[in-house]
Amino acid sequence: MPATKGFFTDTTLCIGCKACEVACKQWNQLPDDGFLFSAMSYDNTVHLGASTWRHVAFIERPVPLRPQDDGAFSWLFSSDVCKHCARAGCLESCPTGAIIRTEFGSVYVQPDVCNGCGYCIVNCPFGVIDRREEDGKAWKCTLCYDRLREDLQPACAKACPTESIQFGDLDELRVRAEARVEKLHEQGLTDAYLYGAKKEDQPGTEGLNAFFLLVDEPEVYNLPPDPVVPTKKVKAAWISMAASAAGMALVAVGAVLLGKGRRV
Amino acid sequence: MSEVPLQPSEKLPTRRSADPTYYETPLLNEPVWEWAIPAYYYIGGLTGASLALGAAAQLAHSRKLEPLIDRCHWIGLLGTGASSALLVYDLGRPERFLNMLRVFRPTSPMNMGAWILSGAGGASFGAVLFRGRRGLPGAIGRACGYAAGVFGAGLATYTGVLVANSAIPLWQEARRVLPVLFGSSAMGSVGCIFGMLAESTENRRITRAFGAIGQMAELAAGIVMEKQVSVVPRVGLPLKRGWSGVAWKTSAALTAASVVLGMLPNRSKKRRIAAGLLGTLGSLLLRFTVQHAGVVSARDARASFHQQRAGRAI
């Protein structure tokens, strides 16, 4: 078994060039998802989806941040991607077993098994996976499984010109990320923190194989502050189902006895 | 990196948003399910609850109940067939329906549901096939009837778990009550549909009691659900505002009207049919409302953010 691989996306290094988006589209031969003008800063991709596996968010903040501070304004860029969660909602909810955990620890959708039921979509707390209209199958980032098999790094990480997207062994990435946060704190950027790097940071997903360094609240980047894999919470619903099924049986027996018992 | 200090300048004002989103865009991707799925929740519920009632009637060992048991099993057979057809229709790749049965996965309520539906379908087929036979075939038929009842009670209630097992804030927040809501509404559906068909007085009394208790539990579960999802106000919004809010209230009103009409003395055939139609509409609308309110909830990033910030995530 190879070591668990992942991404460390350091958003303080992102320059918003979208090379990752382009490299991903090109390598994975993803269809276009419309040429729309969103009027959301430089972001015309808007959201991750079936044909968009990297998405660069452009945040214009009325908050100063040196050395950007020519006025009370700062840019934040962040390249979003599938998190390949340690406990993955899509994988656990998939009724066909199409979604699997690979030897690299990544979460992969087998297109030949997927039956297009769409259950993974409502089970992803990050809004990553989606169903493609044309073929009716669910798609998302594969962590470039085909490239990993050939000892290549994923296309987005390869294309990133600033090493904002770093690919590697998860353990090593975590060490590197913690050192980076420390350095930023020393430099005065005390807002810097890691999102989803460790199980303790994000108990709901038990940690992300693709984690981030952020300098503002997760919501600002359209990331959930405390995401939870739905399966972790559903026990209460199963108990409630057992109780209501038993209740239904009781009422049915009661109704039969009542109806039969009384003489007309 | 240069050694230029990166910290926010103290001279300049910081105007961070107190309740930020990313350009008001949704966090989650919307459910792709169309009309066939809420329709399945209704049909599956009706089917499951009638199979449960059929099994209970079988327990009584009474010849007078035979027509009722027959009807329950036939609805079970036709209903499971219709349910499968609706599910196949809604799949992105209909030819892959059987892929659900290549694994047994307790972590996936949809996979469990595929097994429950298959079990209910198979058992009701056996019950219909061997109905009224003597000897071993008769015993198999009866066993199938009981098995169908167990699968049926599951079929009528698991859809609540199916909906609850999701990242959508409204559905997640309602997880404790959804199985009760769907299960009781399914009992109400049986009362309504059977009430519109011709029956003996004795059997009518059974289906009326079963349906009325279901409808009253449905109304109570609806009230509880609205309360539970509103603990975080933003999460409960879809049941209070907009089309989903109107539909939510309308479905409760339809069910309540059906209950009242059914309880009035001197039940004429016309009134029975009116009560049945109102209740059926209420039940159907309930499923479509839960579905649509979930879509509305998925579009509201703040619903997720507030729910998680309120510490209700786990």
CB contact at 8 A, A194 and A212: yes
* pLDDT for residue B71: 96
Tens digit of pLDDT for each residue in B69-95? 999 999 999 999 999 999 999 998 888
Which of B91, B165, B206, B207 is best to mutate for the A interface (most A CBs within 10 A)? B165
* pLDDT for residue B4: 47
* pLDDT for residue A255: 96
* pLDDT for residue B304: 97
Tens digit of pLDDT for each residue in A70-89? 677 889 999 999 999 999 99
DSSP B30: P
pLDDT band at residue B198 using 50, 70 and 90 as cut-offs = confident
pLDDT band at residue B8 using 50, 70 and 90 as cut-offs = very low
CB contact at 8 A, B49 and B190: yes
Which pTM value belongs to this model?
0.94
Rounded to an integer, the average pLDDT of B221-244 is 97
Q: Is the pLDDT of residue B300 over 50?
A: yes
Q: What spatial distance separates the first Cα and last Cα of chain B, rounded to whole Å? A: 39
> Which residue would you say has higher pLDDT here, B10 or A25?
A25
Pairing mode of beta strands A107-109, A193-195: unpaired
* pLDDT for residue B268: 86
Q: Point out the residue among A204, A230, A256 whose CB comes nearest to the CB of B166.
A: A230
Residue of A nearest to B102 (CA): A96
* pLDDT for residue B314: 52
Q: Does B20 touch chain A (CB under 8 A)?
A: yes
* pLDDT for residue A262: 56
Q: In angstroms, how far is CA B277 from the centroid of its own chain?
A: 18
Alpha carbon distance B25, A242 (integer Å): 38
Residues in chain A within 8 Å Cβ distance of B154: 241, 245
In single-letter form, the type of residue at position B200 comes to: S
Summary mean pLDDT of chain B: 93
Pairs of CB atoms within 8 A across A/B: 316
Of the listed ranges A30-39, B35-44, B53-62, the least confidently predicted one is: A30-39
